[in-house]
Structure 1
Amino acid sequence: MSVTVSLAERDAELRAFTHIAEPPPVDDAVPVGPLAGLPVAVKEIIDVAGMPVTYGSPLFADRVPDTDAEAVRRLKAAGAVIAGMTTTTPFACGTTTVTRNPHRLTHTPGGSSAGSGAAVGGGLVPVALASQSQASTLRPASYCGAWGYKPSHLRLPRAGMHLLSDTLDDLGLVAADLDVLEKVLAVLADDWRPEATPRTLRVGLVRLDDGDLPRPETLRALEELVQRLDGDGISFVRTDGLRDLDEQVDGSGLSCFDIFAGESATVLAEYVAAGEPDPRLREMVDHADPSRLVRALQHRAALVTAYRVATVAVDVLLTLSTTNPAPGGLESTGCRRMPATSSLLGVPALSAPWLTVDGLPQGVQLLGRPGGDERLVAAARALAAREEETR
């Protein structure tokens, strides 16, 4: 049985892929490059030459690009093999997809990178390209039990992606483990310089926007994790600066949406006029308002300053990736507020699959300083080693 048929059969229930690539020709040549032979799935707002990239919309049902997005070009040059295209909500901002959660098929995988999250969380591929403007990488990673990465703004190449918001849009990654995540980051990011795993780590605890929504069992799982990780060079703190940040970040999810809607409205209005059926696009167009956009950008600027002040005395921040595990049903992709903070601030964030609540995965979110992507990954390695030791 061919690899393609096997992948198609495994995906029959999840429906994570919109297109599965033909397997590469079998020859005697040994794959070369740092990612030699690594299968990578690609969210279908990111161009792959010769594959259907429809942006999740019937308006572009026949679109097949001639050239690769820059991220795809770098992956191929490093020896990776493109496994196929994964589902997205329309234009990475629509309502939902047909994709199911690999850990409970009746629950959402999150979005908008639904297929990327489900494909990795379900074990179909070890890594997938995603994107994030609000919660589109961290949320599906959290819901599907995978590692998710949202970089510092513009740290990873965006050329060849469908973009809506210059302030918020970023390429993201969903990976099966931290090692493969960093290997791919080293290929995609310019001048990636891995940092040594720190011997000591000062971790700041934060709540972020909508941090009052987690259920008691979710908060209890996080508290138990913190208790396990505390010690052996890792200390957890809750400083006045972090408390102030949580107060100022309240309502930031709405500010993020105001920016997203305001900056995308012109493009989305064209799609709505052309007949795009997803109601979320009309909602965003109707919500867009220049005065709201100005106020949201001002709120963002104040938060960026508060974040820099609050993170001076810590190495990394820790909180939940999402308010709770994946909700039941496929009618929505879940709450976006907590993972949206990193996009609003332009800081690197990582979702680690360290919790289980009600039998479902629940991610733990780590946030770093702007531009500190390598340092965030190094901190994640230290915490991951401690988590494995104490499991």
Structure 2
Amino acid sequence: MLRPWPGPTAGAGYAEESADRIDRYEPEVRAFTHHDTAPLRTTGDDRGGALAGMPVAVKEIIDSADHPTEWGSDRARGRRPARNADVVQRLVDAGATVVGMTTSTPFACGTTTPTRNPHALGHTPGGSSAGSGAAVGAGFVPIALATQTGASTIRPASYCGAYGFKPTHGRYPMAGVHPVAETLDDVGLIAASLRDIDRVDAVLIGRAAPEPPPRLEELRIGWVVLDGGDEAGPAAWQALDRARRRLADVGAPPLTAAAEDALAAFQSLVPGSTERMFDVFAAEAARHISPHLTPPDPETDPRLIELVERAGSLTDEQIIAAHALRRRLREAHARLAGAVDVVATLSTVGPAPVGHARTGSRTMPATASYLGIPAVSLPVLSVDGLPMGLQLLGADGEDRGLLAAAHAVDGALRDDPFPLSACTDRQGSTS
């Protein structure tokens, strides 16, 4: 199991461990499209920078000048960017080592990838940031750059037993990232620890130390069911209820009646919002996907065609309604700011589904994408022996406060953590 990154003084031993795990397990996990472990075996302590020597992986819709960046599609095979995306350059400038490019569904919109879940190879790792989730879950790297337009950071983090962070919309620069839907697109982080997220976030925004975690006794946690909750099974809700009871037992305070009313008002607007989010997604993504569908190719991912067709079927009234619901939800969520510190719910409707034909439901992570608010997934739940995340939603622009709260919640629930970096064999036994 790869430890969270201990910092610039880690030396070559940590990078060597990362390289060894990639060489041993990557043929089974298939997290990367391109990778090179040789730089990890020559990394020393003299590189300088806040992330000196830190191995990182990059989703293949985010440009890297040192690796092919092929957008998850044969139509971009061999594409070599002339420069790094801004987020990649900031990590490199801080001393990080880019190990390689992780798999993405085609243009971050397609059906699936070859990547397998490191906790159970027969299950999906999620998407579209499948490779980033698997690379961290397998212990290859302590952090990987992902993206999220609908669910693609929080979902693979949840499925792969990792930490996931989807920031407030616009927190990280998007230059050099293939666009999907500008209203929703964000670079996200999938990591082995919250401390790794703190460090990389500080580099990406150019600001120093994170906020100290609050005392759990002072943290007002509101609990919600996103989008009606009808997709999640009883075992998932039971796992969430155990976490809620555990937090109450160790000091999380009850909410006031006014806070409960504000939560209920927000909750009442959520059912059906995932589909409205996807209306925005499709309408904007079609502009970027359509050029890649010409000339026609029988091997084109059918989901790309479905996406463009959905966009073409949407009326102006439907798109206006989707944006109007988004505004109402944002207003209702903003009213929670004085009543609760964070909102808690499931990260996904369950653990990673069996099979690789699809990447799982987007329902639970979609709300944060739709509203543009920050979200964190903590790998503190499990169902049927598989990891599943607890999702915390923060106030718009209050990313550091959300991460501080996440440390408090995570610390209270880590007495019996699910292993973060267990590779499995074909039968699913831990290696």
1-side partners of 2:17 and 2:408: how far apart?
Answer: 39
Separation in 2, partners of 1:137, 1:27: 28
> Quick one: which amino acid aligns to residue 312 of structure 1?
G
- Aligned partner (choices 242, 245, 258) of residue 263 of structure 2: 242
Deviation at 1:274?
3.3
Aligned pairs (5 A) from 1:1-391: 7-24=22-39, 26=42, 30-191=46-207, 194-199=210-215, 200-237=218-255, 239-275=260-296, 277-288=300-311, 289-291=314-316, 292-389=318-415
Change (3 A) 1:28 1:73: closer
Taking a change above 3 Å as real, the CA distance of residues 266 and 152 of structure 1, as seen in their structure-2 partners, is same
Distance 1:383 1:66, change over 3 A: same
Cα distance between partner residues in 1 of 2:224 and 2:17? 48
The alignment partner of 2:113 has SS state of coil
Code of the aligned partner of 1:326: A
Secondary structure of 1:365's partner? Answer: strand
SS in 1 for 2:141: coil
Cα contact 1:39–1:125 (8 A) shared by 2 = yes
Secondary structure of residue in 1 paired with 2:276: helix
Shift in Å at residue 233 of structure 1? 4.2
CA distance in 2, matches of 1:94, 1:262: 15
Alpha-carbon separation, structure 2, partners of 1:84 and 1:390: 32
| AA of the residue aligned to 2:150 | Q
Structure 2 unaligned residues grouped into runs of 5+: 1-15, 418-431
Hey, what's the Cα distance between the residues in 2 that align with 1:152 and 1:328?
Answer: 31
Say whether the 8 Å CA contact 2:59–2:145 is kept in structure 1: yes
Contact 1:3/1:23 (<8 A) preserved: no
Shift of 1:27: 7.5
Mapped partners of 2:154, 2:73: distance in 1: 23
CA distance in 1, matches of 2:30, 2:98: 17
Alpha-carbon distance in structure 2 between the residues aligned to 1:2 and 1:154: 34
SS of the aligned residue for 1:363 comes to: strand
Q: Distance in 1 between matches of 2:411 and 2:43?
A: 39
Q: Contact 2:380–2:414 (CA<8 Å) still a contact in 1?
A: no
Counterpart secondary structure, 1:173: strand
Q: Distance in 2 between matches of 1:147 and 1:27?
A: 25
Letter aligned with residue 334 of structure 1: G
Taking structure 1 as reference, are residues 92 and 27 closer, same or farther at Cα in structure 2, changes over 3 Å only?
Answer: closer
Question: How much has 1:229 moved relative to structure 2?
Answer: 1.2
Separation of aligned partners in 1, 2:20 and 2:55: 15
Asked if structure 2 preserves the Cα contact closer than 8 Å seen for 1:205 and 1:236, the reply is no
**1:390 CA drift (Å):** 7.5
Q: Using the TM superposition, give the Cα deviation of residue 251 of structure 1 relative to its aligned residue in structure 2, in angstroms.
A: 0.7
Write the letter of the residue equivalent to 1:214: A
Q: For 2:222, what is the secondary structure of its paired residue?
A: strand
Structure 2 counterpart of 1:327, which letter?
P
RMSD (CA atoms): 1.9
Deviation at 1:204, TM superposition (A): 0.3
Amino acid at match of 1:63: R
Percentage identity across paired residues of the two chains: 49
TM-score, scaled to structure 1? 0.96
Q: CA deviation at 1:278?
A: 0.6
**Structure 1 residues 20 and 368: alpha-carbon distance in aligned structure 2, compared to 1, 3 A threshold:** same
Name the amino acid aligned to 2:288.
V
Contact conserved, 1:204 with 1:318, CA < 8 A, in 2?
yes
Indicate the residue corresponding to 2:427 in structure 1. Answer: none
Q: AA paired with 1:20?
A: H
**1:6 & 1:368 partners in 2: Cα distance?**
34
Per the TM alignment, residue 290 of structure 1 is displaced from its structure 2 partner at its CA by: 4.5
Structure 1 gap ranges (5+):
none
2 CA distance for matches of 1:2 and 1:183?
Answer: 20
Residues 54 and 236 of structure 1, relative CA distance in 2, 3 Å threshold: farther
3-state SS, counterpart of residue 29 of structure 2: coil
**1:192–1:136 CA distance, 2 compared to 1 (3 A):** farther
* CA deviation string 1:313-350 (max 9, x = no partner): 00001000001111111000000011010010000000
Question: Is the partner of 1:274 in helix, strand or coil?
Answer: coil
Query: For residues 28 and 101 of structure 1, what CA distance do their matches in structure 2 show?
Result: 31
Q: CA deviation at 1:28?
A: 6.6
Q: CA deviation at 1:270?
A: 1.4
Q: State the aligned residue count.
A: 391
Q: CA separation in 2, counterparts of 1:378 and 1:191?
A: 15
2:8 paired residue number: none
Letter in 2 for 1:222: L
Cα deviation code 1:59-89 (max 9, x no counterpart):
0001011100001100011111001000000
Contact kept, 8 Å, 1:59 with 1:275, in 2: the verdict is: no
TM normalised by structure 2 equals: 0.87
In structure 2, C-alpha distance between the alignment counterparts of 1:196 and 1:4, rounded to whole Å? 33
Contact 1:149–1:174 (CA<8 Å) still a contact in 2? yes
